[in-house]
Structure 1
Amino acid sequence: MPSHITESRIHGGAYSSPEFAAIFSDASQVQKWLDVETALAATQAQMGIIPHEAAREIARVASVELLDLDALGRQSMETGHILVPTLRALEALCADGWGEYVHYGVTTQDILDTGLILQVREAWGLVLQRLRAIRGHLLTLALRHKHTPMVARTHGQQALPTTFGYKVAVWVDEIDRHLERFDEAYARVMVGNLTGAVGTLAALGPQGLEVQRQTLERLGLAAPLSSWHSARDRILEAAWLLVQASGTLGRVANEIYHLQRTEIDEVREGRRAGQVGSSTMPHKQNPSTVDLISALSRLVRAQMLALTDAAFQLHERDGTAWRIEWAALPELFIYAGALLARMEGVLLAGLDVRETRMRSNLDMLGGLILSERIMLALAPRFGKQTAHQMVHEIAQQAQAEDRPFREALLSDSRLHGCFSRQVLDDLLDPAAYTGLAAEMVELVANKAMPRSSNDGLELQLSTQGNPSRSQHVMEGM
């Protein structure tokens, strides 16, 4: 019976993503271990370290479909070792004793860490696909509403007019920076490690560095300059990139959540047929998806705390910290995958942008939202500081007496002759005081979208239940 929320038959659809769950499944993980062993054997055969027959036989049987994962789980508990049962099963599948050459000159962490990077790379590609799709939907929304005036709020209070399109363009620009960070980090993160028991490559002898380089090249990974068994910055960087991107989308979801408040009601989630807001209040239309996205963003961030603890590795290798990654990193990616899917779903369903309500909210303060504009119009005559004090006094009086700002301005003796009624009406038009919002939307739209060939999709060594080893892993056998 599933007990974890990501596997729950009740909750799993909300807290998990099938694609990300497949990448971090047992079958995917074990297949990637086998891919590393296959690539290692192929390289060693080509370099004359092991017989070609051994490498070919290892490649022939290195498929998770030939293994009993339940048995591997039991044997892992019996042996107290996560990889040995898989190695024994692989050895047993090899004919004519060629299994003796499995796992030749490397250590468990070499296989597990390199396999983990293969999983991260596969997930990385999906993350970028989803982020780019979300970016595209948001950019379309930004351009459509670049001239749609709405209230900008600071400290939870009405501040000045802006446009809804510009609000969305700020989100797009932030996502672009995340895409740039993913691109910049790719070369640092996509690095394997086959440096042996204490990272010195002693078991592989003088050819060790070349064995490592060629093996990792077959897997589409770079070789490290030194062992990173105890240096977990690559894992932390990959996780932190996802935490940052999830934080942005969580912020977007939280903004939509608050804009859907009955008292604001400027943006609503699209409604699905059959969707129910409340079990007892039939009128409710709760923002159920964006509140889930906000929760998922927090869950992603929570896994980062555990992963930072995993960075405290002792000596050359340390299982007490390393094992934290096995739990926290898959959860982080799976929660993030669910978040990305839900956000894309919200945008595909279409946000209900309520322009009429945006306009009525702009008028809620009776013109006070244009106090800055009035102050600046008076500044050439009175000086900016004096104008600020005057407008502040008039605004406070208007609020105390519940009078329209326009009337309060016209009735103040200090301002007689400063404005005609028509000029004042023009100054108090919120749609005419959105600054360069529309122009900045265009700046964001015209910026080249960050796009990298390093999206993790160019090399897929395995998929769940359908091993598909790359041809160049097999070369030279």
Structure 2
Amino acid sequence: MNLSRVTPAIALNPLDGRYRMQTSPLVDHLSEPALNRERMRVEVEWMILLANGYPDQGNQPILPGIEPLTADEQAYLRAIPEDFDDQGIEDLAEIEARTHHDVKAVEYYLDRRLEKAEGSLGAGTQLPRLKALVHFACTSEDINNLSYARCIRGAVEQVWLPAAQAIVDRLAEMATTHRGLPMLALTHGQPATPTTLGKEMAVYVHRLSRQLDRVRHQEYLGKINGATGTFGAHLAAAPDVDWVRLSREFVTGRMGLVWNPLTTQIESHDWQAELYSTISHTGRILHNLAVDVWMYISRGVFAQEPVKGATGSSTMPHKVNPIRFENAEANLEISCALLDTLAATLTETRWQRDLTDSTTQRNIGSALGYSLLALDNLKGGLAAIHPNTQVMQEELDNNWEVLGEPIQTAMRAAGLAGRAGMEDPYERVKELMRGHRIGRGDVERFIDTLDLDPETARRLKSLTPSSYTGAADTLVDFDRD
């Protein structure tokens, strides 16, 4: 059996196969049909603006020989992309098979719908004779850049950002709940100054929130200015029209984007590079989170809740593997690689135009799809773990040497205040604690050898690895600023 002949067609990409359920929300924004639907919206709105002009100038047509479109005619036009269904997808594919040009196929698709307008609006409608208004003075990139910007904005704001924010919200919940739960820190993989689990989660909340804020404030640029950005065809056809003003009005007022007045044939894609770089940076922070949590699980700091009926290993039935974090880690690596490639490739074009960006942009859905898949796995993984307080306490109890830091620092302060016998505090504490296992008694006896004031000695003796967490619990609140 040749699998390429099986129907329905077998997905080659796992995002459209094994992981379709997790990534399907992006289909409405970043699939080929979604792009074509948006192209139709751009073409239709351009027609309506040309036919009806500016509201502040009485909605007079921009071009001669056209009557302002009626409300019914405008509704008919706007229904074309909204009604773009499976049959429409087939029809458009049949046209493109002949044109070998995707945007031209959209133009001809709209032409066919204009020809059929009388069936819905009656013989009096002017739409059938307005086929020349479709794609008027436009190059394909006038349509594409606006369509991509709107598709990407929808995917980011409606799908990716909510999924990423859900991770931040879960981490914030964990930070608040466990703000005071002491945990042994490891620097260079070695026991270090204790922290709290909540504070460590708050670090990720703060890091991720900064990046998501940048995504939320991302500009989405657009242009509609002709084959090389000069309005040449526009002015040749209608020299008395203020095409620059019309371009700004269309991009900002009709498309809801930021107008780019200076371009070659293509919009320069700098905003895309900015966006993808930020999402890639976010992905690397999430990758750090996935690896950290994986190691916390391995260390026993986090315990996993087994899923009823699930298998952890084909041969070792006791295992509960941290597969969601491993899945997230791997898919973030793929996503970041694609996003970095997009950011690098899309900022360059040979002179006024080449087609490297065309095929590159078709991978935006994959780049965000792998990121969305990772977010879904992180969400499920974070929901299925809880701190193992017994292990955490045992780690702290077995590492009293971490109190060397506060003791030698208190000795420094006492020496600065004029207290005698506080020379070489670091070396003296190092001799006691470095490379040794010590306990409460060793710490207390060492403190007793020091000529500290009674209050300082009492304060140091009251410290334990569990209580030596500084201001960690209050630092959790800084992610709210």
- Is the Cα–Cα contact under 8 Å of residues 138 and 172 in structure 1 kept in the other structure? yes
2:227 aligns with: 197
Question: Which amino acid is the alignment partner of residue 415 of structure 1?
Answer: T
Distance between the aligned counterparts of 2:23 and 2:34, measured in 1? 15
The verdict on how the C-alpha distance between 1:364 and 1:35 changes in structure 2, with shifts beyond 3 A counting, is same
Q: What SS does the aligned partner of 1:225 have?
A: coil
Q: Aligned runs of 1:262-411 on 2, under 5 Å?
A: 264-307=299-342, 308-327=344-363, 329-347=364-382, 349-365=383-399, 367-379=400-412, 380-381=414-415, 386-396=424-434, 399=436, 403-406=437-440, 408=442
Larger mean Cα displacement after TM superposition, 56-65 or 337-346: 56-65
The verdict on how the C-alpha distance between 1:384 and 1:305 changes in structure 2, with shifts beyond 3 A counting, is farther
2:89 aligns with: 69
Distance between the aligned counterparts of 2:77 and 2:95, measured in 1? 21
The verdict on how the C-alpha distance between 1:51 and 1:295 changes in structure 2, with shifts beyond 3 A counting, is farther
Distance between the aligned counterparts of 1:413 and 1:139, measured in 2? 39
Distance between the aligned counterparts of 2:155 and 2:80, measured in 1? 26
Distance between the aligned counterparts of 1:439 and 1:161, measured in 2? 15
1:81 aligns with: 101
Give the drift of 1:73.
4.1
- Is the Cα–Cα contact under 8 Å of residues 276 and 340 in structure 2 kept in the other structure? no
Task: Compute the TM-score of the two structures, normalised by the length of structure 1.
Answer: 0.82
Distance between the aligned counterparts of 2:142 and 2:451, measured in 1? 81
Q: How many pairs align? A: 430
1:226 aligns with: 262
Question: Which amino acid is the alignment partner of residue 36 of structure 1?
Answer: V
Distance between the aligned counterparts of 1:26 and 1:395, measured in 2? 64
Question: Which amino acid is the alignment partner of residue 285 of structure 1?
Answer: V
Deviation per CA, 1:108-135, whole angstroms, max 9, x where unpaired? 1111111011111111213332233322
Question: Which amino acid is the alignment partner of residue 106 of structure 1?
Answer: C
Deviation per CA, 1:334-381, whole angstroms, max 9, x where unpaired? 12222223323334x34211122111111233x112221222233335
Question: Which amino acid is the alignment partner of residue 392 of structure 1?
Answer: K
- Is the Cα–Cα contact under 8 Å of residues 166 and 379 in structure 2 kept in the other structure? yes
Larger mean Cα displacement after TM superposition, 282-291 or 222-231: 222-231
1:116 aligns with: 148
Q: What SS does the aligned partner of 2:186 have?
A: strand
Q: What SS does the aligned partner of 1:109 have?
A: helix
1:182 aligns with: 215
CA RMSD between the two structures: 2.8
The verdict on how the C-alpha distance between 1:158 and 1:71 changes in structure 2, with shifts beyond 3 A counting, is farther
Distance between the aligned counterparts of 1:384 and 1:276, measured in 2? 59
Q: What SS does the aligned partner of 1:432 have?
A: coil
The verdict on how the C-alpha distance between 1:320 and 1:191 changes in structure 2, with shifts beyond 3 A counting, is closer
Larger mean Cα displacement after TM superposition, 105-114 or 387-396: 387-396
Distance between the aligned counterparts of 1:160 and 1:60, measured in 2? 64
- 4+ residue runs over 6 A deviation: 382-385, 410-414, 416-420
- Is the Cα–Cα contact under 8 Å of residues 149 and 358 in structure 1 kept in the other structure? yes
2:122 aligns with: none
- Is 1:144 aligned to residue 177 of structure 2? yes
Deviation per CA, 1:312-352, whole angstroms, max 9, x where unpaired? 2111222124421222x2211112222223323334x3421
- Is 1:91 aligned to residue 128 of structure 2? no
The verdict on how the C-alpha distance between 1:408 and 1:431 changes in structure 2, with shifts beyond 3 A counting, is closer
2:471 aligns with: 436
Larger Rg: 2
Distance between the aligned counterparts of 2:15 and 2:422, measured in 1? 58
- Is the Cα–Cα contact under 8 Å of residues 148 and 164 in structure 1 kept in the other structure? yes
Distance between the aligned counterparts of 2:180 and 2:401, measured in 1? 21
Identity of aligned residues (%): 22
Give the drift of 1:255.
1.0
1:2 aligns with: 11
Deviation per CA, 1:418-463, whole angstroms, max 9, x where unpaired? 699x959835501221111111112324x2xxxxxxxxxxxxxxxx
Question: Which amino acid is the alignment partner of residue 19 of structure 1?
Answer: P
Give the drift of 1:384.
7.4
